[in-house]
Structure 1
Amino acid sequence: MTLTDTAWPKAVLWDMDGTLVDTEPYWMAAETPLVERFGGTWTHEDALRLVGNSLEGSARILQEAGVDMPAQDIVEHLTDEVLRQMAEEGVPFRPGAQELLRELRAAGVRTAIVTMSRHRMAEKIAGLIPFDAFDAILGGDDVARPKPFPDPYLAGAAALGVDIADCVALEDSPTGLTAAVDSGAAAIGVPHFVPLSNPGAADMWPTLEGRGASDLAHVWRAHRAGAGEAR
């Protein structure tokens, strides 16, 4: 596969939870006993409210549900619990994610994780991939403003030394997709636990399975052409 500056994006920015890996059930399993420890109740619908949120934002919601702990203690507790579950049960990668990553790497496209989870968790997950999958890792503790602000994606592009307009972003949550769209990247929504709808998205894919680097390039070229027409 031959890359040219005009035909291919320079980088692909990956959300992690729900896009790269199916860790959302681990987060939900960590939240329920924490709320119950303080005498509250936590439903599946409650848990869905946290999908795509910053951990600090999720901590505030958990405090409203009765968890009497400082926000940062909640964040670190949940992170530790998810890491424990990962160690015991493994990390389920989303269908097609590793295959697409491998093809992007073979094609010379730069990649980064852009997640609201802690940097230490993202590093752990990246280390479980059996090849050098990412050039940069951006966690929620690496940026001042979380998704849905565009800052995480802008920081991801900066870490790779590329213009955000030359990037594709992959997202599974409404807040994450908003961040990706507003950053100026060609944003592709890949819904998982919650439905997605964003008119600014470059495309919506039901899954990454069967998708290759050329599919991403096609979306990016169409998005760039549309942006040029809008100007």
Structure 2
Amino acid sequence: MTSTVPASVLRTADGSALQAVLLDMDGTLVDTEGFWWDAEVAVFGELGHRLDASWKHVVVGGPMSRSGRYLIEATGADITLAELSVLLNERFEARIADHVPLMPGAERLLAELARHNVPTALVSASHRRVIDRILQSLGPDRFALSVAGDEVPRTKPHPDPYLRAARDLGAHPSRCAVIEDTATGVASAEAAGCRVVAVPSVGSIAPAPGRTVVASLEDVDLSFLRSLITGMN
């Protein structure tokens, strides 16, 4: 569940028009997109099926419901989506038990946002059980709240997760800067009306109105995020 946000966290520094920063998790803050594919390969291998490497670009970066359905249909595996979800979550959790690698620039950016009291939310298509594990590495105190894929009626690419995060932070979506790494996440944030910074991890993402593409989180700081909002037409 999302947490209760104290009134004090709703202030942004220096009167900035930026009201909140909403961040994706896998592939954006933590270098774990490949871990999900490894988990899928292992689980389906145990079920007697070999995954085609070309499927990786189809399933990585999307919600488990979409990825799971695709792989079940592609392989013909005799397993339900609910059963597969349990196995994949268990395998992924085992993979991150000892170490969760951060993306370059993630630690610096999170520290800067916290230092300036910028309301920040973690918005992921991953399930709550996985988010809570990774939050321990990211620092749960750095986020006013988090939204999991299994806590909204429709997860990414629908706008629901970002609309919920903005609402619970008391922010207007158009005054929120979102950082995402996949086309699915970008579609979700843009459908919610947010300004988007794309840091592609799987496949390419082209610049577009209201969307800025950068090579790394090393290129993102608070000043840059504020400029996205104050520069709106």
The question of a shared fold, defined as TM-score above 0.5 by the shorter chain, is answered with: yes
The answer to whether structure 1 residue 71 and structure 2 residue 81 are counterparts is: yes
Q: 1:43 — aligned with what?
A: 52
| In 1, Cα distance between equivalents of 2:86 and 2:216 | 31
8 Å contact from structure 2 (residues 36, 60) kept in 1 = no
Q: Which runs of 5+ in 2 are unaligned?
A: 1-11
Instruction: Tell me which amino acid in the other structure corresponds to 1:115.
Output: S
Q: Which range moves more in the overlay, 52-61 or 40-49?
A: 40-49
Give the % identical residues. Answer: 33
| In 1, Cα distance between equivalents of 2:32 and 2:180 | 14
The answer to whether structure 1 residue 54 and structure 2 residue 63 are counterparts is: yes
- Cα 1:83–1:145 shift into 2, 3 Å: same
Q: 2:104 — aligned with what?
A: 95
**Displacement of 1:172:** 0.4
8 Å contact from structure 1 (residues 116, 140) kept in 2 = yes
Q: 2:92 — aligned with what?
A: 82
Secondary structure at the aligned position of 2:29 is classed as coil
TM-score (norm 1): 0.90
8 Å contact from structure 1 (residues 34, 67) kept in 2 = no
- Give the RMSD, CA atoms, in angstroms: 1.6
Write the deviation string for residues 75-127 of structure 1: whole angstroms up to 9, x where unpaired: 12111111101014x10111001210110111111111110000121121112
| In 2, Cα distance between equivalents of 1:46 and 1:87 | 26
Write the deviation string for residues 120-161 of structure 1: whole angstroms up to 9, x where unpaired: 211211121357211111010011111111111101111212
Q: Which runs of 5+ in 1 are unaligned?
A: 227-231
Write the deviation string for residues 21-51 of structure 1: whole angstroms up to 9, x where unpaired: 0111111111112222333221332122112
**Displacement of 1:189:** 0.6
Q: 1:229 — aligned with what?
A: none
Q: 1:183 — aligned with what?
A: 192
Secondary structure at the aligned position of 1:103 is classed as helix
| In 1, Cα distance between equivalents of 2:202 and 2:135 | 22
What count of residue pairs does the alignment treat as equivalent?
Answer: 221
**Displacement of 1:197:** 2.5
8 Å contact from structure 2 (residues 37, 60) kept in 1 = no
8 Å contact from structure 2 (residues 33, 61) kept in 1 = no
1:1-231 alignment to 2 at 5 Å? 3-5=13-15, 7-64=16-73, 65-88=75-98, 90-130=99-139, 132-197=141-206, 199-222=208-231, 225-226=232-233
Spell out structure 1 runs of 4+ moving beyond 6 A.
none
Secondary structure at the aligned position of 2:13 is classed as coil
